Amino acid sequence: MTQIYNFSAGPAMMPKAVLEQAQAELLNWQNQGTSVMEVSHRGKYFSELAAQSDKDFRELYHIPDNYKVLFLQGGARGQFAAIPMNLIGKKGKALYLNSGHWSATAAKEARNFCEIDEINITETDANGLISVVRTDFSDIAEQYDYVHYCTNETISGVEIKEIPNVGNAVLVADMSSNILSGEIDISQFGLIYAGAQKNLGPAGITIVIVREDLIGHARQATPSIWNYETQANADSMINTPPTFAWYLCALVFKHLLKEGGVKAVEARNLKKAELLYQYLDSSTFYHNYIAKPNRSVMNVTFTTNNDELNAKFVAEATQAGLQALKGHKVLGGMRASIYNAMPIEGVEALIAFMDKFAKENN
């Protein structure tokens, strides 16, 4: 079989070592003679796994003691609704920073629950180059119960690397596609959330990191599965959690710790992204339309500016073992998602293919 590299934006590739471990212990987990997915979430072994995964995740991401980590269901989109249900309080409204598809979708969902103001924080110049133009909201942020933004727009490949200045207001971040990709000062945030299926594990589990003082203020009608207080008090087990997905996330955390933690992973991520963007910048055949300071380390978008050639590129890349490079349907072109699990060899293979394709089709 040819070596396959999977550039899917999500669900995305998992570390091979993790899949191998899951395979090896699938039929007999912890010497119980059953798989992890067949045992009670309240039993000794799963309780230990849950506690250990919390500990490992905190260690990996340097999470301060005054934050809780919740392991929930419903994906990032579930949080689009849960956040206003839990965080809207005395001020009665929230500010949403719009930088692309996901931040706009979060704002749209929040409108069902509260009053919001929305600010566009990106601009597209005459050449089509997208850049983030505003990150300081300290003059207005305190009128709001929270300020929401998306750290990495998965579809366009726009990353906001500077944490927005919101003064003393509560900052909420959708980190679905770049959580654990690099070190970050958690204490700047009130709440961080991420669906697992990009950089943490498989689909079906959602991580919420929430500062303790923000827990316990949910509106009356909040369903208990969406209520941070009931979930925090129940160690994220008010009902049956997605045990198999949680187990795989736990293996990923152990794997990342073994690889040297987020610092080491970040260095490798920066190297991968730099290789790919350097190649794009050196090419006249391919184009990337994100301003340099806002180029995503995780999702690299590019195009030949010709729909037929783009389609040919995707088809031939697939043949060559480079999978899922088709851009999102709202944008077209190509997208290489190079999350934590993508080895540097995958990026090198992609660049070699791109170069060959450019020479053959120029």
Ligand X SMILES: *Cc1c(COP(=O)(O)O)cnc(C)c1O
Interface with ligand X (CB under 6 A): 10, 75-77, 102, 150, 154, 174, 176-177, 195, 198
- 117 in catalytic set: no
| Shortest Å, Cβ 80 to ligand X | 8
Coil, strand or helix at 195: strand
- 102 in catalytic set: yes
CA distance 71 to 74: 10
| Shortest Å, Cβ 261 to ligand X | 23
Residue 240 labelled as part of a binding site: yes
Exactly one of 174, 226, 272, 326 is catalytic; name it. Answer: 174
Residue 231 labelled as part of a binding site: no
| Shortest Å, Cβ 296 to ligand X | 11
Q: Other C-beta atoms within 10 Å of 173: how many?
A: 27
Cis status of the peptide bond prior to 11, with omega within 30 of 0: yes
Residue 154 labelled as part of a binding site: yes
Exactly one of 68, 198, 272, 326 is catalytic; name it. Answer: 198
Contact in structure between 358 and 306 (CB atoms under 8 Å): no
Q: Other C-beta atoms within 10 Å of 123: how many?
A: 12
Contact in structure between 4 and 353 (CB atoms under 8 Å): no
Minimum CB distance to ligand X smaller for 10 or for 15: 10
CA distance 149 to 134: 12
CA distance 231 to 137: 31
Residue 197 labelled as part of a binding site: yes
Minimum CB distance to ligand X smaller for 206 or for 304: 206
| Shortest Å, Cβ 194 to ligand X | 8
CA distance 351 to 355: 6
Minimum CB distance to ligand X smaller for 102 or for 144: 102
Exactly one of 29, 102, 226, 246 is catalytic; name it. Answer: 102
Report which residue's Cβ sits closest to ligand X.
75
Which residues, 6+ apart, have CB-to-CB distance to 346 below 8 Å? Answer: 5, 7, 338
CA distance 86 to 241: 20
- Catalytic positions are 102, 174, 198
Annotated binding site for pyridoxal 5'-phosphate: 76-77, 102, 154, 174, 197, 239-240
| Binding site members for L-glutamate | 42
Binding residues: 42, 76-77, 102, 154, 174, 197, 239-240
